[in-house]
Structure 1
């Protein structure tokens, strides 16, 4: 279901990068980065968050050096941003992707 790939780090950990349909809204795609002990554990982390149909077949779209740096410097080791990449857009924690969108505020309410 996903385009993606992985890079093995010198310390033995793996960074997996996947391009997935955007959860919740279903419109567009997102690039998700996961730092884990191995590829299977990275996919398990995503499945445990509710992204059930996540698979990695091949290594066609491995993480870039910038993506690896981003995920290594994040405390959760799990990030996303919309695709195609916009240089002004920052990487965000995965919980921001999985929560439902807020309804618009009503003008003049109160």
Structure 2
């Protein structure tokens, strides 16, 4: 059983080095745009065309896909970080996001 676990972990690490994938007849290229994050959780395409995501530790980031620029937008204080379901999970945008971000 231990050998099977090691084999699975090795295969996973080899796959993570791959940057181009074929999905059906579509070629998809993976690019790393951020490292060292604390459990990235919710990922949302915002009305502003940016990718917004949360981290378990309470950080909220915004990613500009045209420049691959990552910005820490806000830190939610006092996020509970104990237990399996702890941390900042989801986010939603104000219905009038353009005027009320």
TM-score, normalised to structure 2, is 0.25
Higher-RCO chain (CA-CA 8 Å, sequence separation at least 6): 1
Higher share of residues assigned helix: 1
Q: Which has the larger radius of gyration?
A: 2
